Amino acid sequence: MDDIRHSIPATPVRFIDQLRQHMRQNGLSYRTEQTYIHWIKRFIHFHGLKHPKNLGRSEIQSYLNHISINRRCAINTQRVVLNALVYLYKRFFDRDTDDLDFKTAKQPRKLPVVYSREEVARILAQLDGVYRLQVALMYGTGLRIAELLSLRVKDIDFGSNNIVVRGGKGNKDRTTILPQDLKVELQAQIRKVARLHQRDLEDGFGEVYLPDALERKYPNAARQLTWQYLFPSSNIGVDPRTGVERRHHMHPSTLSRQIRLAVKQARVLKPAKAHAFRHSFATHLLEAGYDLRTIQELLGHSDISTTEIYTHVINRGDKGVLSPMDRLPLITNTQVSEPEILYLAAS
């Protein structure tokens, strides 16, 4: 249950709790909250556990230089760290962070791992049951693994052929396509969830986690089938905020382990990453002629420059260029005349 916001006191005293409260009041997603807190803690440890209110511009610059020069982080990582520290000082402490002078990370953004259509098919052939459905959904919709596992029964709209993604990256909602080939499997999965939910209710459980606002607005929703996770955990666990025993969704590590095994068995010589199916979704749509703006909306990218990276990994490059090597006429040994063979042998 590591994607459930942990409770903090109504009037927090600890610095980190005060910072968390500020982030929640300003509408940051829980994933952003976790990321910012992680880097702010590392910043504090780097400076000998000094309270950040006693640190300032020079300490921010020295830490950004440290992760760039000594840790050799990627430019995107340095940007995330900068955003976390700017939030801390500019929005939380209300202190100026303009004109920071630091060495920009040199590690370029890496091209995404993309599986070919044939490789996707081979990987899917190694998976069974719910794991095959999950991987097929990531490839067929472009969902991130966290978005996939956070799906509720109500988010599958068979009527409009859409899947609704709630609180995706950046805490944004969006819709993506519902693959027609997966409809029957999805309906069967919902029936499985319904049977499991009925057993939970009979055993005195059956309540699912809802964000605070929804829990207050719809007090009975947590026990309704429509709000149950599409891919529930095999075990009932304890909600870390309230101590209530609930069935959460499957843990990402469970699916990641199955993907690693399937990629190995399929003999695909590329990294085994759940996110690679999202990259493959975008790349294959681009190859099929869909425009970048459409793909951007399906992926939920706020900036189209993020989507443009897929133009560098499609089969013929970002300009549809065919290599001159692919235009050479095919000449076999049987097509070479006897005088030419003698000439070649003599030379």
Catalytic, out of 122, 169, 260, 273: 169
- Identify whether 31 is a catalytic site residue: no
- Identify whether 217 is a catalytic site residue: no
Catalytic, out of 63, 87, 89, 144: 144
- Identify whether 115 is a catalytic site residue: no
In contact, 277 and 43? CB cutoff 8 Å? no
Burial degree of 47 (CB within 10 A; 0-12, 13-18, 19+):
middle
Catalytic, out of 275, 293, 312, 316: 275
- Identify whether 270 is a catalytic site residue: no
Catalytic, out of 197, 248, 278, 284: 278
In contact, 266 and 116? CB cutoff 8 Å? no
In contact, 184 and 195? CB cutoff 8 Å? no
Token couple for 274: 């759940």
Please provide the DSSP assignment of 101-159 as one string: --PPP-BPPPPPP---HHHHHHHHHT--HHHHHHHHHHHHH---HHHHHT-BGGGEETT
- Identify whether 310 is a catalytic site residue: yes
Nearest alpha carbon to residue 66 among 76, 54, 81: 81
**CA angle (145, 151, 157) in 5-degree steps:** 125
- Identify whether 117 is a catalytic site residue: no
C-alpha 133/C-alpha 24 separation (Å) is 34
The residues that are catalytic are: 144, 169, 275, 278, 301, 310
